[in-house]
Amino acid sequence: MTTVGFVGLGSIGKPMAKRLLDHPGGLVVHDVAPEPVAELVAAGASRASGLADLARRCDVVCVMVRDDDQVRDVVRGLLEGAAPGLVVGVHSTVAPGTPGELAAAAAERGVRVLDAPVSGGAMGAADGTLAVLVGGDDEAFAAARPVLERLGTMVVHAGPVGAGTRLKLARNLLHFVSFTAATEAQRLAEATGLDLVALGRVVRHTDAITGGPGAIMHRATTAPPAPDDFWAGVFGHVRALGEKDLRFAIDLADDVGVDVPLARLALDRLGPGLGLPLAEGTRP
């Protein structure tokens, strides 16, 4: 049976670790803060005396710490006690080059690294519905998969080491650009006397029905669709509707003196982004 270790028991790491408490083979935990360790131990986990001890006792180790420097420090500490065959899954979101760097250092000790960032936040961590985005070789992924499937309802093997991180960064680009666009919409709504809480309810309700930005993300390429492609018709409709509504929203924003630079950029970039020809009078 596989023994699992977990390092980093913060706001997302702790609920993730709790999903592994009944994992066959047991759970071993470590954190620099004693309180979450004590909580997990009281719930049935074992306490490691340090990173090297945790590595010695485990077959798969999950790492969920704050940033690249902490990830490097943790992996370095794990390697001090690791036996060949250990699989280390890094759930932190790191720089694109960090997974390859970690994998190269670990390979010298016969340890395999997966970059496995997660999407879904603390709520998804608590109820086990995270998306786990994995980069690494097939053998390491197969070894860690039963553990990862306890953490999330979607586990995607994106490719070799680094692919999970690249997938997470693409996903988060959309996430935070959308947040920025939401702030424009809120300012516009507020300036026109609307209830911002009601706007938020409407956005969450309709995105749950349509899929939000993901509604246009079904193609396997960003190349322009052929004229007879089903998606050419769909995207043409999206563009016509989007450009109309964006113009109306920008006109309203101008009337009430609200700056909406993302909306203006979207008006220029929606059609080309969908792979459609530039409309007459539209900037390239």
Nearest to 247 by CA among 202, 281, 216: 281
The rounded distance, in Å, linking the Cα atoms of 129 and 138 is: 23
Annotation says 244 is catalytic? no
Strand partners, 89: 62, 114
Residues 92/62, Cβ–Cβ less than 8 Å: no
Distances (CA, A) of 121 to 22, 100, 118: 22, 25, 8
Given the residues 14, 18, 168, 244, the one annotated as active site: 168
Q: What is the DSSP letter of 195?
A: -
Q: Could you tell me if 2 and 60 are in contact, meaning their C-beta atoms sit under 8 angstroms apart? A: yes
Asked if 124 and 130 touch (Cβ cutoff 8 Å), the reply is yes
C-alpha–C-alpha distance, residues 103 and 269, integer Å: 38
Distance between CA atoms of residues 280 and 266, nearest Å: 16
Q: How far is CA 264 from the centre of its chain?
A: 28
Q: What positions carry a catalytic annotation? A: 168
